[in-house]
């Protein structure tokens, strides 16, 4: 009987300790957006000690890919479980992770002004997070990461808003060069790229001002090396990923300009197994910016 009671006590203690080491996911969050003309959904991961401390935390904005939404990084990426473990092991510092729904916007202000997601993100979403959660609202304590469409968005925002983020970590990012855009089949262009940069365009006509304003390759080409060095970069793409070439080109462009960055090409393709096994390394890279 005593042995049985001891086992129950040990089980209760173990369960209690695991709960104490687990962060909390707030999965039904919305913010009203006058810019988007609707309520925008988002999820937030709060680190394990958030509820028991009074201190403020750095924030990583984690962006989803095309066809997914704000739930993807928790549902498929298991980011809460991975972050809990990494924080417990000291691999990453305790951090808030904010995951907004971007639908298929490609995280840009669309060419026709109908979907101004970039404006929403900087003028409404970041202020929402910094108002409602205990954040360290400074550049050095903000990072941004994402996969595929979200990888593109995370790099785009870091390049266009280097005063906001200390570091960025795009995974399997949708970095398209001009040649790829020109040759892209109409179906691939019109949904979703055409919605962002100009619908029903073919060939070189797709290289609009809207496209160049948001082209990763063009932004790197036209920015000075000093401006590019204002952000720390981590770029990770699988060797079997259809986006591998564009990621290699970004790596080469940054290298030619003498811009420090980390470039990883691991075995894998464009899938959740690749992103689950890479996200903690990416967060650890960002987390170095948060530490003294």
Q: Per-residue pLDDT tens for 115-155? A: 999 999 999 999 999 999 999 999 999 999 999 999 999 99
pLDDT band of 13, cuts 50, 70, 90: very low
Mean pLDDT, the chain, integer: 94
Indicate the domain borders of the chain. Answer: 23-290
Q: In terms of pTM, does the model score above 0.75?
A: yes
Question: Could you give the 3-state DSSP secondary structure of residue 142?
Answer: strand
Band of pLDDT at residue 11, cut at 50, 70 and 90: very low
User: What tokens appear for 72 in the block?
Assistant: 């993807």
Q: Does the pLDDT of residue 196 top 90, yes or no? A: yes
Q: Could you tell me which residues come within 8 angstroms of residue 185 by beta carbon, excluding any fewer than 6 positions away?
A: none
From 230, 243, 248, select the one nearest 274 (Cα to Cα).
243
CB 247 within 8 A of CB 235: yes
Give the SS3 label for residue 285: helix
Residues 223-228, mean pLDDT to the nearest whole number: 98
Domain at 23-290: CATH code: 3.40.50.1820
């Amino acid at each position: 009987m005593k042995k049985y009671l001891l086992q129950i006590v040990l089980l209760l203690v173990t369960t209690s300790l695991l709960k104490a080491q687990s962060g909390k996911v707030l999965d039904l969050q919305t913010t009203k957006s006058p810019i988007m003309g609707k309520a925008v959904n988002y999820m937030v991961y709060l680190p394990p000690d958030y509820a028991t401390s009074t201190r403020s935390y750095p924030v990583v904005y984690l962006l989803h890919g095309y066809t997914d939404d704000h739930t993807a990084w928790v549902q498929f990426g298991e980011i809460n479980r991975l972050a809990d473990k990494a924080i417990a092991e000291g691999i990453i510092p305790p951090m808030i992770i904010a995951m907004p729904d971007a639908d298929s916007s490609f995280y840009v202000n669309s060419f026709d002004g109908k979907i101004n997601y970039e404006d929403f993100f900087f003028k409404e979403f970041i202020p929402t997070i910094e108002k409602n959660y205990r954040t360290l609202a400074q550049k050095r304590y903000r990072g941004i990461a994402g996969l595929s469409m979200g990888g593109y968005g995370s790099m785009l925002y870091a390049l266009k808003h280097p005063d906001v983020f200390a570091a960025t970590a795009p995974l399997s990012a949708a970095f398209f060069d001009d040649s790829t855009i020109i040759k892209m089949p109409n179906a691939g262009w019109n949904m979703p790229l055409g919605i962002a940069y100009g619908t029903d365009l073919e060939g070189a006509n797709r290289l609009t001002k809207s496209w160049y304003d948001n082209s990763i390759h063009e932004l790197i080409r036209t920015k000075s090396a000093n401006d590019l060095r204002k952000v720390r970069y981590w770029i990770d793409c699988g060797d079997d990923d259809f986006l591998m070439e564009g990621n290699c080109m970004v790596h080469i462009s940054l290298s030619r300009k003498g811009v420090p960055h980390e470039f990883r090409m691991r075995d894998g393709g464009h899938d959740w197994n690749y992103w689950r096994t890479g996200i903690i390394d990416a967060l650890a890279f960002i987390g170095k910016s948060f530490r003294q």
